[in-house]
Structure 1
């Protein structure tokens, strides 16, 4: 566990504090400089009216806005352990969700076909986003969105972002899309069947059923067409899929699995095949190779649409889950090489220690933050290459041990 040790001028240890605890203390200090919640509410009301929201909308909404301690608790709660790819994928793409998606694909075939015709996004992808975001509309979240967003806007950590979201939420109420007391969603303000943030709602939500309102809570046509329009706006390419599982040849150079895009023909020339050993198609498209579980797990060649999915949620795990769920809903089977389930989940402090060890040895992983992002994976890959290890950028037990990261209980 990464810690800072403070000593007195006599050299005696006074206290040992973990870096994650120190970060919370720093946030608490920042919070103490914020105005009171009531003062902040008044400021938010003024900003909303300056942005064009009618006073007749602002005043009754603000009268009902309350501080939600639970929202701050959820915002502050950092997961103690990272999620392994196996755990992430298996929780989100399971037989039950696949079967439900297939049933709804058939039930709403006409609607989804209209969305595909208008946006170019195939129906299985629309169903996959719907399934991952709200389990096909079964759970939208129970937080009162105006109060949740005001709570976060009046907090120091991400005040500017959530102030913008709060004003956008009031504009949605002001246009008559939904009454304030019915605007429920996640603790961070995501709303409706497809969990749009308020600014995304304003930019991309549409009235697809012709009732005069953009209603992502009660109108599936509005929700699905809005999802399609959002993906279309980010550059969805209707001629290609998200990517695919592939099989790598023996003695493959895993340093190439760094997310860099190359022509598909290059990967084909390296004797990479599809998951069943068949040659890759000769298509004029670029692809990147990713191995989310390292060289022992599945490999994927991902195309432009993969990056579009990440425009919705900037997580490679999420983007793979959307693509794989869409494939399964469309009739495909499970992965040919499922991710290993015995990889340990690393704690944030373990990742901090890993990052510090890499930096100390000259492998730049960026400012240590306990998050296993692309900079850290690139640093791991460079370290693996120097040490003669498989350079897959994955924090394997071998890498952790050689860098002195304790992985015991």
Structure 2
């Protein structure tokens, strides 16, 4: 199908009045998406059927640009996601799908509790798969300048998915960002990693729990999951511990951590192994401490959030019978985003590279905080606690 015809189809649906210019821009962008789909080999009839039905979703753009007032702390994040109800439901599903999950363990090396933990965190075990029309969402984001190239590619992937699986267009609904099904795969991941788990010759991540679980196992295997290795463990730190040793980029052997006085959470000795582990303090030196292994990094390739990866591991542990994580009181109080922005600006002004002052506590901000804390004689945990923020505020005064 030639571009003029695509533009003709798009223009036929343009509104009249003040919104026409914006709508015209969207329809012109949509025509470009059609060209891209045709160049990728998508059937012209499908392109012609889909393009005129697309609508921009202002709510999607609002969510993409949303800047929450508060930064959720790790304890609050965990309390909202690793709940007793989710643990109980997960154990029921482990039992219901036990035989099938064992076949996935044999084939992909992924223990059942991890697959169920991902399922629980992504969609509450299929309780909420999302209601946003995927093609509208992807087209909206593809026609927005912020991440247009990525979402244009995902739009084409979604059309290829419709073709490959012969999906009814009304089935294509999910999150506002275009993730779909029980495991919330983006269309590119669906195309590349989703597999037929129930043996019916099709892959349906919305309606087939076995397809979703098998696809999750294949995805984790492809990301490099190491069979026989757990995600990590909670540990206890000795008095006077040098907190600047914490950080995902500062891995040491378990033998070395044990020599530094780190023990298991129950006080027992760590295994005397050369296994590499990094120490994380997601709530600062007053909160829980974790040693994490290579499989933790695999989880972060699914979702790049450390809090998410910790929640997956801790939910998997709970599903296997571990007790709830005990947290000291007072750790769940959220931080204002403006506090983090001010801290980043102050750190940058002091010559400590905290990155862009965006209110997001990433690795550069944590490294800058540690450097400042060391300079001030504070526990160098890279966490913006009240003492650190107060010290930064004082240094920032003229």
TM normalised by structure 1 equals 0.89
1:227 to 216, 228, 235: 216
Q: 1:267 to 1:35 in 2, by over 3 A?
A: farther
2:288 to 298, 306, 318: 298
CA distance in 2, matches of 1:405, 1:312: 40
Contact 2:76 2:332 in 1 (8 A): no
2:351 to 352, 357, 362: 362
Q: Secondary structure at the match of 1:294?
A: coil
Contact 1:85 1:339 in 2 (8 A): no
Partner of 2:8: none
Q: Deviation at 1:176?
A: 2.4
Partner of 2:66: 77
2:28 to 39, 47, 58: 39
Q: 1:381 to 1:84 in 2, by over 3 A?
A: same
Q: Unaligned regions of 5+ residues in structure 2, if any?
A: 1-20
Partner of 1:11: none
CA distance in 1, matches of 2:184, 2:218: 14
Residue 276 (str. 1) matches residue 260 (str. 2): no
Partner of 1:391: 380
Q: Secondary structure at the match of 1:289?
A: strand
Partner of 2:100: 111
Contact 1:293 1:340 in 2 (8 A): no
Contact 2:347 2:369 in 1 (8 A): yes
Q: Deviation at 1:282?
A: 2.4
Alignment of 1:96-245 (within 5 A): 96-245=85-234
Task: List structure 1 segments (4+ residues) > 6 angstroms apart after TM superposition.
Answer: 32-35
Partner of 1:265: 255
Q: Deviation at 1:35?
A: 6.8
CA RMSD of superposed structures (Å): 1.7
Residue 373 (str. 1) matches residue 340 (str. 2): no
CA distance in 2, matches of 1:341, 1:354: 21
Q: 1:233 to 1:405 in 2, by over 3 A?
A: farther
Partner of 1:312: 302
1:334 to 297, 321, 324: 324
Contact 1:358 1:379 in 2 (8 A): yes
Q: Deviation at 1:345?
A: 2.0
- Post-superposition Cα deviations, 1:39-98, rounded to whole Å, max 9, x if no partner, equal 111110110010111112212122321111111111111212111111100000010000
- How many positions carry a matched residue from both structures? 374
Contact 2:285 2:381 in 1 (8 A): yes
Q: Secondary structure at the match of 1:403?
A: helix
Q: Deviation at 1:341?
A: 3.6
CA distance in 1, matches of 2:293, 2:320: 18
CA distance in 1, matches of 2:88, 2:394: 42
- Post-superposition Cα deviations, 1:381-401, rounded to whole Å, max 9, x if no partner, equal 001111111111110100101
2:57 to 68, 73, 81: 68
Q: Deviation at 1:349?
A: 2.1
Contact 2:73 2:331 in 1 (8 A): no
TM normalised by structure 2 equals 0.91
- Post-superposition Cα deviations, 1:80-139, rounded to whole Å, max 9, x if no partner, equal 211111110000001000011011100110111111111101000000000000000111
CA distance in 2, matches of 1:97, 1:309: 19
Q: Deviation at 1:363?
A: 1.5
Q: Secondary structure at the match of 2:202?
A: coil
Q: 1:405 to 1:43 in 2, by over 3 A?
A: farther
CA distance in 2, matches of 1:153, 1:347: 31
